[in-house]
């Protein structure tokens, strides 16, 4: 029975890799800026962002929904929730809320919502390039539902369906994207060595539509007056990625644990990346974290703007209720650095 389950797990992993290959993954430096829904790539939470996102193998609990949905199945609480707020680039704010429920043998079910705050933007037109005096604010959000469970005692599987919506005045688009991941604990019989594989943002292309794509014009060669003409927008692909990660946890006597993590990210619309993370866990109460990302094959005319990451966390238990506060900092070229604050509660 155990052999059959293990074979099924690796069949799932193989299927994920085959889907990745069928999606045309080959590194996408020459396709930068041509994908739709870039909001899907904006990280959330503080703990794993402080590890530079090197988290597909070690993400666990409600925080794992974004990084690897399989990790949701490893949550130790009957119910959990988290909220994070990030100061992103160009004065954009990113808020994220996620909840998780453990339904025993059925598995874990989670819900997540990521929203963007752009502030007020002045409306400009061809006739009024300096502004019309009106203001607008784009509406960008990602709403997700996640299911995860332990297939066997050392293998977790999870899948997320995200509804993506982007709207500016009179033009918008809505799409669907899926994430699927697995985590294998104690890989090759080595205690503390975990492997994670996740395929993200797989779904049909998004097409923008709305009255804002119309304009007044005259059809050349036709005996018709000036009329309203609608532009048909081209469809744009989702920013699909594949991530393969490793993590190793080492017990430091009775002081705490030291976890080193590595992740390789293959990106369909940007440079591939190597990510490294290091976390010191002092008796499950205080955490120190650091990480670094290395982009591969970036042409000289382009620039990888993200630098090292750092963070810390504090966890306390109050009568069976666990409360965690986390902070992360990510250096950014040309813009203000990203700072993330996160609160997690588990029951």
DSSP symbols for 58-93:
T--GGGHHHH-GGGGGG--SSEEEEEEEEE-GGG-E
Beta bridge partners of 318: 321
Q: What is the pLDDT along the chain (347 residues), one digit of tens a residue?
A: 444 554 454 455 445 444 544 444 445 677 777 889 999 999 999 999 999 999 999 999 999 999 999 999 999 999 999 999 999 998 999 999 999 999 999 999 999 999 999 999 998 887 888 888 899 999 999 999 999 999 999 999 999 999 999 999 889 999 999 999 999 999 989 999 999 999 999 999 999 999 888 877 777 777 778 877 788 888 999 999 999 999 999 999 889 999 999 999 998 888 899 999 999 999 999 999 999 999 887 776 677 889 999 999 999 999 989 999 999 999 999 899 999 999 999 99
CA neighbours within 13 Å on the CB side: how many for 68? Answer: 34
177 contacts 40 by C-beta, under 8 angstroms: yes
Helices (H), the chain: 2-22, 64-67
Q: Report pLDDT for 80.
A: 98
Domains, in order of start, for the chain = 2-346 (2.40.160.40)
d(CA 193, CA 245): 11
Q: Report pLDDT for 11.
A: 52
118 contacts 138 by C-beta, under 8 angstroms: yes
Other CB atoms within a 10 A radius of the CB of residue 101 amount to 17
Q: Report pLDDT for 14.
A: 47
Q: Report pLDDT for 4.
A: 53
Query: 143 to each of 140, 175, 221, how far by Cα in Å?
Result: 10, 11, 47
User: What 3-state class would DSSP assign to 46?
Assistant: coil
9 contacts 155 by C-beta, under 8 angstroms: yes
pTM score of the predicted model: 0.89
Running DSSP on this structure, what letter comes out for residue 204? P
d(CA 319, CA 86): 30
289 contacts 312 by C-beta, under 8 angstroms: yes
What token pair was written down for 237?
Answer: 């692909």
52 contacts 262 by C-beta, under 8 angstroms: no
d(CA 145, CA 99): 10
Other CB atoms within a 10 A radius of the CB of residue 338 amount to 20
pLDDT in tens, 33-82: 788 999 999 999 999 999 999 999 999 999 999 999 999 999 999 999 99
d(CA 159, CA 182): 9
User: What 3-state class would DSSP assign to 267?
Assistant: strand
Strands (E), the chain: 79-87, 93-102, 108-117, 121-122, 135-136, 139-152, 155-168, 171-184, 193-202, 214-217, 227-230, 241-252, 256-267, 273-282, 286-295, 306-318, 321-332, 338-346
């Amino acid at each position: 029975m155990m052999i059959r389950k293990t074979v099924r797990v690796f069949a799932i992993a193989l299927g994920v890799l085959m889907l990745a290959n069928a999606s045309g993954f080959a590194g996408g430096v020459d396709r930068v800026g041509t994908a739709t829904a870039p909001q899907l790539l904006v990280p959330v939470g503080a703990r794993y962002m402080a590890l530079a996102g090197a988290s597909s193998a070690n993400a666990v609990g409600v925080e794992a929904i974004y990084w690897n949905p399989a990790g949701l199945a490893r949550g130790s609480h009957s119910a959990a929730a988290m909220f994070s707020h990030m100061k992103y680039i160009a004065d954009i704010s990113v808020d994220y809320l996620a909840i998780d429920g453990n339904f025993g043998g059925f598995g874990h079910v989670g819900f997540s919502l990521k929203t963007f705050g752009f502030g007020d933007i002045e409306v400009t037109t061809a006739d009024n390039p300096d502004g019309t005096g009106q203001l607008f604010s784009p509406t960008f959000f990602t709403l997700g539902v996640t299911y995860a469970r332990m297939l066997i005692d050392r293998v977790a599987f999870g899948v997320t369906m995200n509804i993506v919506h982007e709207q500016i005045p009179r033009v918008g688009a809505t799409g669907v994207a899926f994430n699927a991941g697995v985590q294998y604990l104690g890989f090759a019989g080595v205690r503390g060595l975990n492997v994670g594989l996740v395929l993200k943002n797989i779904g049909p292309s998004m097409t923008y539509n709305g009255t804002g794509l119309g304009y007044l014009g005259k059809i050349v060669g036709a005996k018709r007056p000036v009329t309203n003409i609608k532009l048909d927008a081209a469809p744009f692909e989702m920013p699909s990625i594949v991530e393969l990660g490793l993590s190793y946890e080492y017990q430091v006597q009775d002081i705490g644990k030291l976890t080193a993590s590595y992740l390789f990210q293959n990106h369909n619309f940007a440079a591939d990346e190597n990510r490294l993370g290091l976390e010191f866990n002092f008796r499950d109460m205080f955490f120190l974290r650091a990480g670094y990302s290395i982009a591969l094959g970036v042409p000289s005319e382009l620039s990888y703007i993200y630098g090292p990451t750092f963070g810390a966390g504090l966890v306390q238990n109050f009568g069976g209720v666990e409360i965690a506060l986390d902070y992360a900092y990510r250096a950014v070229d040309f813009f203000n650095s990203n700072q993330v604050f996160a609160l997690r509660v588990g029951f």
